[in-house]
């Protein structure tokens, strides 16, 4: 007789746990939109579409997910849209959210959003067209040291992003002043490479995942990578340190939501994204794009964004705009 109440109590506990999990699952009550504030094929877009595919294929969310590209103002157009939403609309982000504000190009800050997660990092590269006479990053920097405006340098989607910043930090080590460099800004990496192969610009700086497809199709040469050592996937590409410049630079991407998200919503996304980054499909995505896992949950991302903001204030103590 004593076992019956205990058995009933156990069933009750299991039932309540199930109810609690269902309630959290129902935090997302309608379809989800992920804003990629860039063109298709860019880093934000690739990350957003990977998220969508894995969350849906692994059945980690029971609603439909769509990716919407809102292009303009270095991400700001998409981010402003998310600020005006109430729920179920998320956006990809990166350090540009911080640097836009520090450069006075935007009034938006990371504090205007709810941090959801930091997802991955990747390396920055410098590229030239396959027929370029520039043979190495070392020779490039030596030429720029003599004549800083000798080469036109392509970057997207806005000055102040990690693509430009990594190049500026490398150039400063050989006493090149950033304001003397000749940067040309394009909407996306496709436009940058198009300008490169048409000889409208001479050099470009961008993330590895954006550059690799052009490298694989033999349109460009990779001069240097911002990694701490050569990648086993690209053993032929030297690091900055091998070119005489001590620079290791990682570019991160994450996801955020509109302001004033509820505690339940944040907990739901913490639980869901954490499950996603543990899947084999996410691990394969990291491998495919040569990204590095850098998962941080909402509270960890909040602290990280604050740390990054302080770091960029120091790094950007120079005028990066021409």
Between 317 and 320, residue with greater pLDDT: 317
Judged by average pLDDT, the poorest of 29-43, 48-62, 160-174, 191-205 is 29-43
Contact status, residue 75 vs residue 42, Cβ threshold 8 Å = no
- Inside any domain, residue 1: no
Q: Residue 70 — very low, low, confident or very high, per pLDDT cuts 50/70/90?
A: very high
Judged by average pLDDT, the poorest of 30-34, 223-227, 317-321 is 317-321
Structure confidence at residue 68 (pLDDT): 97
Q: Domain ends where: 250, 268, 287?
A: 250
* pLDDT at residue 24 greater than cutoff 50: no
Mean pLDDT score of the chain: 90
Using CA atoms in the order 193, 199, 201, 203, what is the torsion angle rounded to 10 degrees? 70
Structure confidence at residue 27 (pLDDT): 58
DSSP state of 185: E
Contact status, residue 207 vs residue 124, Cβ threshold 8 Å = yes
Q: How far apart are CA 148 and CA 134, in angstroms?
A: 15
- Inside any domain, residue 2: no
DSSP state of 234: B
Q: How far apart are CA 172 and CA 183, in angstroms?
A: 15
Whether residues 114 and 130 share a domain: the answer is no
- Find the mean pLDDT for residues 209-229: 96
* pLDDT at residue 222 greater than cutoff 50: yes
Q: How far apart are CA 127 and CA 132, in angstroms?
A: 10
Whether residues 137 and 246 share a domain: the answer is yes
- Inside any domain, residue 320: no
Whether residues 30 and 67 share a domain: the answer is yes
- Find the mean pLDDT for residues 270-279: 98
Structure confidence at residue 319 (pLDDT): 46
Structure confidence at residue 316 (pLDDT): 78
Whether residues 91 and 113 share a domain: the answer is yes
Q: Domain ends where: 226, 250, 274?
A: 250
Q: How far is CA 47 from CA 94, 187, 269, in A?
A: 11, 18, 16
The number of domains in the chain is: 2
- Inside any domain, residue 157: yes
- Exposure of 91 by Cβ count < 10 A (0-12 exposed, 13-18 middle, 19+ buried)? buried
Whether residues 257 and 291 share a domain: the answer is yes
Whether residues 243 and 158 share a domain: the answer is yes
- Find the mean pLDDT for residues 281-303: 97
Q: How far apart are CA 152 and CA 175, in angstroms?
A: 18
Q: Residue 25 — very low, low, confident or very high, per pLDDT cuts 50/70/90?
A: very low
pLDDT digits 0-9 by tens, 146-204: 999 999 999 999 899 999 999 999 999 999 999 999 999 999 999 999 999 999 999 99
Whether residues 221 and 242 share a domain: the answer is yes
Structure confidence at residue 23 (pLDDT): 43
Structural domain including 167 reads 123-250
Structure confidence at residue 261 (pLDDT): 94
- Find the mean pLDDT for residues 209-226: 96
Structure confidence at residue 111 (pLDDT): 96
- Find the mean pLDDT for residues 222-241: 98
Whether residues 214 and 263 share a domain: the answer is no
Q: Residue 86 — very low, low, confident or very high, per pLDDT cuts 50/70/90?
A: confident
Between 35 and 26, residue with greater pLDDT: 35
Q: How far apart are CA 47 and CA 41, in angstroms?
A: 9
Other beta carbons less than 10 A from residue 236's beta carbon:
7
Task: Give me the CATH number covering residue 269.
Answer: 3.40.190.150
* Nearest alpha-carbon partner for 249 in 176, 161, 140, 169: 169
Between 122 and 7, residue with greater pLDDT: 122
Whether residues 260 and 276 share a domain: the answer is yes
Task: Give me the CATH number covering residue 199.
Answer: 3.40.190.10
- Chain position carrying tokens 């190495």: 136
- Find the mean pLDDT for residues 85-100: 93
Structure confidence at residue 5 (pLDDT): 52
Whether residues 111 and 134 share a domain: the answer is no
Whether residues 271 and 130 share a domain: the answer is no
DSSP state of 238: P
- Inside any domain, residue 55: yes
- Inside any domain, residue 70: yes
Task: Report the share of the chain in percent with pLDDT over 90.
Answer: 81
Structure confidence at residue 74 (pLDDT): 84
- Inside any domain, residue 31: yes
Whether residues 201 and 216 share a domain: the answer is yes
Q: How far apart are CA 295 and CA 280, in angstroms?
A: 15
Structure confidence at residue 315 (pLDDT): 84
Could you tell me where the beta strands, DSSP code E, fall in the chain? Answer: 32-36, 65-69, 89-94, 114-129, 152-155, 182-185, 203-207, 220-225, 250-257, 292-296
Q: Domain ends where: 250, 274, 300?
A: 250
* Nearest alpha-carbon partner for 275 in 38, 19, 51: 51
- Find the mean pLDDT for residues 287-301: 97
Q: Is the peptide bond before 70 cis (omega within 30 degrees of 0)?
A: no
- Exposure of 197 by Cβ count < 10 A (0-12 exposed, 13-18 middle, 19+ buried)? middle
Contact status, residue 207 vs residue 200, Cβ threshold 8 Å = no
Structure confidence at residue 13 (pLDDT): 45
- Inside any domain, residue 292: yes
Between 279 and 27, residue with greater pLDDT: 279
The CA-based angle 259-262-263, given to 5 degrees, is 125
Structure confidence at residue 28 (pLDDT): 65
Q: How far apart are CA 101 and CA 138, in angstroms?
A: 32
* Nearest alpha-carbon partner for 290 in 223, 219, 216: 216
């Amino acid at each position: 007789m004593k076992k019956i109440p205990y058995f009933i109590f156990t069933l009750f506990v299991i039932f309540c746990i199930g109810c609690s999990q269902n309630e959290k699952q129902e935090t997302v009550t309608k379809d989800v939109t992920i804003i990629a504030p860039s063109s298709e094929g860019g880093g934000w877009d690739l990350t957003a579409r990977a998220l969508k595919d894995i969350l849906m294929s692994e059945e980690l969310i029971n609603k439909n997910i769509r990716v919407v590209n809102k292009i303009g103002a270095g991400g700001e157009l998409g981010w402003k849209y998310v600020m005006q939403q109430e729920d179920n609309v998320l956006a990809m982000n990166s350090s540009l959210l911080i640097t836009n504000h520090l450069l006075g190009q935007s009034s938006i800050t990371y504090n205007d959003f709810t941090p959801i997660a930091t997802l991955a990092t990747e390396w920055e590269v410098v590229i030239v067209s396959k027929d370029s006479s520039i043979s190495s990053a070392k020779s490039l920097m030596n030429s720029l040291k003599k004549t800083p405006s000798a080469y036109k340098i392509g970057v997207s989607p806005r000055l102040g992003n990690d693509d430009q910043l990594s190049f500026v930090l490398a150039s400063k080590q050989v006493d090149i002043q950033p304001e003397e460099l000749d940067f040309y800004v394009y909407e996306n990496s496709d436009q940058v490479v198009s300008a490169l192969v048409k000889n409208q610009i001479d050099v470009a700086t961008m993330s590895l995942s954006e550059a690799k497809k052009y490298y694989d199709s033999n349109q460009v040469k990779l001069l240097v990578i911002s990694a701490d050592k050569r990648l086993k996937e690209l053993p032929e590409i030297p690091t900055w340190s091998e070119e005489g410049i001590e620079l290791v630079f990682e570019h991160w991407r994450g996801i955020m939501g509109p302001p004033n998200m509820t505690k339940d919503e944040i907990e739901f996304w913490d639980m869901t994204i954490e499950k996603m980054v543990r899947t084999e499909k996410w691990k394969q995505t990291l491998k495919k794009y040569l990204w590095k896992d850098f998962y941080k949950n909402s509270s960890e991302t909040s602290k990280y964004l604050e740390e990054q903001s302080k770091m960029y204030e120091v790094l950007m103590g120079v005028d990066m705009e021409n």
